[in-house]
Amino acid sequence: MKIYLVAGEISGDILGAGLIAELKALYPKAEFRGMGGELMQAQGLTSLYPLETLSVMGVVEVLKHLPKLIKVRKHLYQDALAWGADLMIGIDSPDFNLGLEKKLRAQGIKTVHYVSPSVWAWRQGRIKGIKQSADLMLALLPFEAEFYHQHQMPVTFVGHPTADTLPMEPNKPAARLALGLAEQQRPVIGLLPGSRGGEVARLGALFLQTAQEIKKTHPKAVFLLPAASPKRYKEIQHLLAEHPVKDLQLLQGKADQVLQAADVCLVASGTVALEALFCKTPMVVSYKLAPLTWWLSKFMLKSKWVSLPNLLAQRTLVHERLQDQAKVSQLTEDLHQLLNEPAVAAEQTQAFYAIHQQLKCNASKQAAQAIAKLLNNQSK
């Protein structure tokens, strides 16, 4: 069995590593090739490109990198055929992977897309292209599976792997001890501006300036900022030189520990907001796009919310401060509310437990079994 996998960012590398481990249990002699990060490579993947090759977010940003992305996709397509792949699994990065899947599927290779694009939220017409690209969609969230069922697209809801790996009851004392914090220290505030370079560029200074304001009213506050990669670490170091924050720890990784140790957190919209939910940490969500990308998105967005906690709760559970609302005064006010009004923070936390339980399904194993059914022509 020759399985081709393509992931383009850190969250995809985590998903891919868990999936490869379960596929090896089903297919002990399987070979794995394509593109992924250190975690997927540790599970046996031969990666042809660095993980960050596809980490480009937004219409404007993609256009800048389009010639390189087209060249990479062409090479991966030719390589998968030359290698004799039996199966191609695209992990997230839909604008890149779905096109690759479509071309390989046309050559008779079975294709799976792992992590649904936000087709239920915007550009719903993409469902036609998705049905042409993938034999099977693996959905992490229940409302995604419902959308594909409505459009007669083969789909399996597998749950979320992070819901499996993070404990239902977070161990705040242990996390604080690991980070060198006193258990009784208050408040501890997590700052997580995202894993992509563009996210750090647009949100990093904003989050640091917000921390400066919080420090004025909460002089004993401690801030934790986990950098998603060595490259992000250096970028944040430069930002800190311009926007210094007293009592801030800049960490290499350790996002899960930070989220469990924090009393509240300020996070970029995306996977990290879901991780904060699993850690039961009250949060404020923020995000900024390039101006043109934001302007275009307003015409295509079909959902009332963009953050995963709100989408899963189907209500405004956490504050979403996007684009023009993503400003220091607003984020400071929102964090003050979580810090000063325990009932508001407790409402979030209670809802987070229920959502975590819903998504705890042994996702990697479910995904591998769904793929096995597809390969055995047993999918429903």
Question: Which range has the worst mean pLDDT, 8-12, 40-44, 257-261, 325-329?
Answer: 8-12
pLDDT in tens, 207-258: 999 999 999 999 999 999 999 999 999 999 999 999 999 999 999 999 999 9
Superfamily per CATH, domain 2-159+361-375: Glycogen Phosphorylase B; (3.40.50.2000)
Location of structure tokens 């647009």: 202
At residue 139, the 3 state secondary structure works out as strand
The domain 165-359 having CATH identifier 3.40.50.2300: the answer here is: no
Torsion of the alpha carbons at 155, 371, 368 and 122, rounded to the nearest 10: -30
**138 neighbors 154 (Cβ within 8 angstroms):** no
Domain locations in the chain? Answer: 2-159+361-375, 165-359
CA dihedral sign of residues 211, 212, 215, 216: negative
> How open is the CA angle 17-19-20, to the nearest 5 degrees?
65
Q: What would the two tokens of residue 87 be?
A: 């199966």
* 168 closest CA partner among 33, 374, 360, 317: 360
pLDDT in tens, 263-308: 999 999 988 999 999 999 999 999 998 888 778 777 667 678 889 9
